[in-house]
Amino acid sequence: AQRVTQPEKLLSVFKGAPVELKCNYSYSGSPELFWYVQYSRQRLQLLLRHISRESIKGFTADLNKGETSFHLKKPFAQEEDSAMYYCALTWFYNQGGKLIFGQGTELSVKP
Amino acid sequence: DAGITQSPRHKVTETGTPVTLRCHQTENHRYMYWYRQDPGHGLRLIHYSYGVKDTDKGEVSDGYSVSRSKTEDFLLTLESATSSQTSVYFCAISESIRDRGLSGTLHFGNGTRLTVT
């Protein structure tokens, strides 16, 4: 079965420090991975997806199929990055286009 | 923001009572989803719909039913609410399913906070 694991419930860093939010997945085929973010009092929204290979708000994520990981990274954290982050997985021929989410990691960036 | 409205925003109900949550979209998207959000579990899919009257179960569907009689409305019903169903419920819509069945981007509603006492 498909599974997404985010091992850290809470990650606390100081402003300007590097950030890495870990995501590991379980799927034997070719997955598509996403990061979603939920800022305080805002809707859950897409941050980035691996096929786009883009950097959004300074965040990047690389799909490592060998390690089945899709870690989210940012070299210099900002206070406005404080939010709940979810890693999510989908796959080809997925009826209904379902997304499977991880448990979420709360990022707290301190001044 | 995509045109998704969830109602009610907050609800407190007693164990054993039926509860219906509504998701309304103005985007005319085919795919709609209900997730619940719980600390330590993240978001878990309850049910989803791929068209009018076409629905299927997600990973945590026990105790829930859904209906979709119109493209714009997707209803989630708790037949007999239990305390374990206290949660935040999110509706989401998808623009499309891309080539080879991959999911499109999901757009989420604001959520409904349900408390079952």
Tens-digit pLDDT profile for residues A34-76: 999 999 988 999 999 887 777 889 999 988 989 999 999 999 9
Percent of chain A with pLDDT over 70: 100
CB-based contact A100 B45, cutoff 8 Å: yes
Chain B interface test: which of A99, A103, A106 (most B C-beta within 10 Å): A99
The two structure tokens encoding residue A27: 């799927």
Q: SS3 of A51, please?
A: helix
The whole-number pLDDT of residue A7 equals 95
Query: What is the least distance, in Å, from the CA of A33 to any CA of chain B?
Result: 10
Q: Which residue has the tokens 């039913």?
A: B65
Contact assessment for residue A103 and residue A87, using Cβ atoms and an 8 Å cutoff: no
Which residues of chain B, if any, have pLDDT below 50?
none
Residues of A whose CB is below 8 A from B1: 43
Check if B74 contacts A (Cβ < 8 Å).
no
Q: Which residue of B has its CA nearest to A94?
A: B101
The whole-number pLDDT of residue A55 equals 82
The whole-number pLDDT of residue A32 equals 87
Model confidence band, residue A107 (pLDDT cutoffs 50, 70, 90):
very high
Contact assessment for residue A104 and residue A8, using Cβ atoms and an 8 Å cutoff: no
| Number of CB atoms found within 10 A of residue A89's CB | 23
Looking at residue B117, the DSSP 8-state letter turns out to be: -
> Of A43, A94, A100, which is closest to B109 when you measure between CB atoms?
A43
Looking at residue A50, the DSSP 8-state letter turns out to be: G
> Of B1, B45, B104, which is closest to A43 when you measure between CB atoms?
B1
Check if B14 contacts A (Cβ < 8 Å).
no
Alpha-carbon distance of B52 to B54, in angstroms, equals 5
CA distances from A27 to A36, A101, B4, B51, B103 (A): 19, 13, 31, 27, 16
The whole-number pLDDT of residue A50 equals 83
Residues of B whose CB is below 8 A from A91: 102
B43 - beta bridge partners?
B37
Looking at residue B60, the DSSP 8-state letter turns out to be: T
A4 - beta bridge partners?
A25
CA distances from B17 to A2, B23, B36, B83, B85 (A): 34, 20, 19, 11, 12
CB-based contact A94 B40, cutoff 8 Å: no
